[in-house]
Structure 1
Amino acid sequence: MMYWDGNMGVWGYILMGVSLVLFWGAIITGLVLLARSLGAGNRRYDGGTPGGGVAEHLLAERFARGEIDESEYTARLTVLRRGRGT
């Protein structure tokens, strides 16, 4: 004979709610990590691109933010390219 009336009780509902949140959190985290590993989020700036380099990229970012003016940008860019041999 079965004595359980089908009611989970308060702790059953709490456990079910927590497990539901954990389950969907794991699913969403997995999808986000998969998308980041396959998408543009995993691409890093490499120095092997034509006309570029890490130092030139950082210099261009500083110029775009307005930290340095155009004359300083061109002077530093010339020094970088002369040192690299291009």
Structure 2
Amino acid sequence: MMHMMNGYGTFWWMMVIFWVGLLILGIYLVTSYINGGGRKRTPMQILKERLAKGEISEAEYEQLKSALKRDERS
């Protein structure tokens, strides 16, 4: 009888470890999604995205692109 109880105890601990691991994985995936997957965007990439979304005109894009290039050189 004692042997069977030990088997159930191991099963339950393995289930607890599984669910805790699954919870940690879920939290990691959600936070990664919220933070953009951990990838860093350069100022030029952000500028290109703003142009693509229509947030800035082509003239503003060119002006800001020139300013960014000047900043990189100095």
Pick 1 or 2: higher relative contact order, CA cutoff 8 A, min separation 6: 2
TM value normalised by structure 1: 0.43
Which of structures 1 and 2 has the bigger CA Rg?
A: 1
Higher helix residue share: 2
